[in-house]
Chains A and B, each alone.
Chain A
Amino acid sequence: MNHSLGAYEPIVGQAVIRQLRTLGEKFKGLHVLHVNSTSEGGGVAEILTWMVPLMRELGIEAEWKVIRGTPAFFSVTKAIHNGLQGKPVSLSRKEWETYFAVNAENCHELRESLERAELVVIHDPQPAPLLALCANRKGKWIWRAHIDISRPARPVWKNLRDIVEQADASIFSMARFAQPLPHPQFVIAPSIDPLSEKNMDLPDKELEEVRERFGLAPDRPLLVQISRFDRFKDPVGVIQAYRLVKKVLPVQLVLAGGGATDDPEGSEILDEVKEAAGEDPDAHVLLLPADAHRTINALQRLADIIIQKSTREGFGLTVTEGLWKGKPVIGGDVGGIHLQIANNYTGYLVNTPEGAAHGIRFLLHHRDRMAQMGVTAKEFVRANFLLTRHLRDYLTLMAWLLWGDDRHTIMV
């Protein structure tokens, strides 16, 4: 369900909404097209689900197109995704041809919108070849990288760089993710929607229903990691941390994630995680449907501590979600998690299962500290990582695209 801008006023304040409406006035009728590779599952689809309607409410002619692909295509794009995040991968010429051929078909189907749009935002590597394939583009094209490509596998980046160089600008979630490119590179952090099913307040009755559904004990601390079943999220490391804690404290663990249509590796990793969890009745490994947003929301709210022990991370929206629910988060000392977790204020940054176990034990023995961190965490997200700030960043980018030059200050 999408909400109007006014619905966010009680959360972010009247001034913030007024600012968006004033700025949005400048872009009425502007045709903006977002292109990505999945309509559900994963942070990008979630962001576009709210952003496109809000842009429309401001009078922007916003469109969202999803490219279509074959299983072979998504295997290639998953390998590219992994390579960009630093995993050594090698793609054959045939695989690159598949990548381009599927994008060429999509380019043909989307040509009218692609050529007409005044601003095209290409999200992540899957649809990136459109940058090279759409010959008659008229508007400005932006490549939006949502993942950490600070240390990519070179053969993969070399090929992709030739494509994304053709954008007019690129956007990264953090400065350290940026790569040398011949166009301006902007830094825009992602955000969460506080009124979405995944983040809205839920009645206690619903929380209890979810607790019962998954057989979670109400009287024992609950640790929750929500994420795709992906090696970079280190689900097995989370189980190791849980086991270290369980030696001394009676904790429960939930590892829950949904599948995404562009992630063919998910089921393989899920099997590994189930094997690692074994027969332990307090280690719950849950594969949830892509639309189980309220369930995920409830699990995060039932948690005492949220974990996101990634070894590579773009931004880590599940960290943002956890902080928004007033929970301390124990997160991997990587990527965008740095931006969100400040040791002793909103949680702990860790590098190992041992580090995670230490943080969990400390917090469970200091409940007052946990409560204080929860308050700080929520206000931190309210100020920095809600969709209203994200929408404002996009409007600002539009202003630069329309009127920008080398000046520091642009009056619009």
Chain B
Amino acid sequence: MNPFEIKDCALLTRTSGLPAAVNLRELRDRVASCHPDVLFHHFCETPLVPSFDYPDYRNDFAVWAKWRLGDQVLAERLGMIDPYSLPTLEDLRAATLEVIDDRLSEVAMIPWARPGQEFHFMQAITIVFDTGERIAHPDELVSAVSRMTNSSIYFHVLEARRRDPVGVDDFSAWLKGCDGQWGHYIRALESIDVTFFTLSELREKLIAVLTRAKDLGPKGGRP
């Protein structure tokens, strides 16, 4: 059994070079043409960017639609786009444009933001480094997760879903490659709706479901 290598990461946020969007039409145009890293940043990297802890929605476009455009309908629809359920970032772009185009066809006036409340298109560079720590056995997962940083949780649980194998977190991918019966841990990991937690909450959730899976063992029910 190869040990699991615990990695950690840090984001370096940078401007994308795109002009800020003042209204929904401009948002649409920039979303249509921006680099995929920009979409990835505003949909997936938000948990690592300093921001208020209790946002209404988990992507920046939905938050902007609510607070700066004042368009609750658009915010609700954008807020339900799950970036991890779509296979590629181009699919994510298409889904986002579909929602915005629908809304543009419904409204009589283009929603706009006040000066100073424009949407700034950002992207990030992710620096990944080896912590030197290893998980030798699946039963050590719980204690390892409890010691991990928020950014390490992000890298192995969220960011992993966009890497090969797409849609799978690193722990599950490792467990599938290990000898033995580790399906109970994999089912436990699958049971978490990862997009609706802050990283601290996600760690606690991981600890809870993995502990329960460990206690119940391979023949236990779904957590």
Contact = CB atoms under 8 A, between A and B. Distances in A.
Contact of B127 (A150, A184, A384, A410): A410
B125 A408 contact: yes
Interface in A370-412: 376, 379-380, 383-385, 389, 392-393, 395-397, 399-400, 404, 407-412
Nearest to A399: B127
B196 interface: no
Contact of A22 (B124, B131, B147): B131
A9 to B, nearest CB: 13
A117 to B, nearest CB: 20
B122 interface: yes
Nearest to A184: B14
A385 B50 contact: yes
Interface of B: 8, 10-15, 20, 37, 40, 50-54, 116, 118, 120, 122-132, 147-149, 151-152, 200
Interface string A346-383: 10000000000000000000000000000010011001
A35 B122 CA distance: 28
B129 A26 contact: yes
B131 A396 contact: no
13 contacts: A14-B147, A15-B152, A16-B149, A18-B149, A22-B131, A23-B127, A175-B122, A189-B50, A346-B52, A396-B12, A400-B12, A404-B125, A408-B124
Contacts of B149: 15-16, 18-19
A30 interface: no
A311 interface: no
Contacts of B122: 175, 187
Interface string A10-28: 0000111011001100100
Contacts of B40: 408
Contact of A411 (B12, B20, B118, B129): B129
A286 interface: no
Contacts of B148: 15
Contacts of B151: 19
Contacts of B37: 408
B52 A342 contact: yes
A185 B14 contact: yes
A339 B50 CA distance: 8
A22 B6 CA distance: 12
B147 A15 contact: yes
A345 interface: yes
Contacts of B52: 342, 345-346, 380
A186 B127 contact: no
A18 B126 CA distance: 18
Contacts of A175: 13, 15, 120, 122
A176 interface: yes
A67 interface: no
Contacts of A184: 14-15
Interface centre among B14, B123, B126, B151 (most CB of A within 10 A): B14
B93 to A, nearest CB: 16
Contacts of B132: 22
Nearest to A180: B17
**In the A-B complex, the 10 residue pairs with the closest CB atoms:** A384-B50, A175-B120, A396-B10, A15-B149, A342-B52, A399-B127, A396-B12, A185-B15, A187-B13, A409-B126
A178 interface: yes
B199 to A, nearest CB: 9
A284 to B, nearest CB: 32
